[in-house]
């Protein structure tokens, strides 16, 4: 979150679009929506943590089912 914002401010002005011959365009001025970074980062973290919980629960259920099958056979 902070690294992307800092990278945009530091490096975006260095890139110039030179599609045509002649004087290059002035440097880009990054406009970072600071008030939207926190909710987006929070939503991303919630989704990732939720997916990790689903994957871990799925692995545990599979392992438990495998253990029950092996216990039933022997």
Please determine, for residue 3, whether its predicted confidence score (pLDDT) is greater than 80: no
Q: Which residue has the tokens 């259920």?
A: 61
Tokens of 62: 């599979």
CA angle 29, 27, 21 (to 5 degrees): 145
Please determine, for residue 55, whether its predicted confidence score (pLDDT) is greater than 90: yes
Q: What are phi and psi of 28, to 5 degrees?
A: -70, 140
| Structure-model confidence comparison of residues 52 and 40, the more confident one | 52
Q: What pTM was estimated for this model as a whole?
A: 0.54
């Amino acid at each position: 979150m902070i690294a992307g914002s800092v990278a945009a401010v530091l490096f975006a002005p260095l890139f110039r679009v030179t599609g045509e011959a002649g004087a290059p365009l002035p440097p880009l001025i990054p406009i970072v929506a600071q008030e939207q970074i926190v909710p987006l980062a929070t939503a991303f973290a919630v989704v990732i943590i939720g997916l990790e919980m689903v994957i871990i629960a799925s692995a545990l259920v599979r392992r438990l089912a495998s253990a029950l099958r092996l216990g039933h056979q022997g």
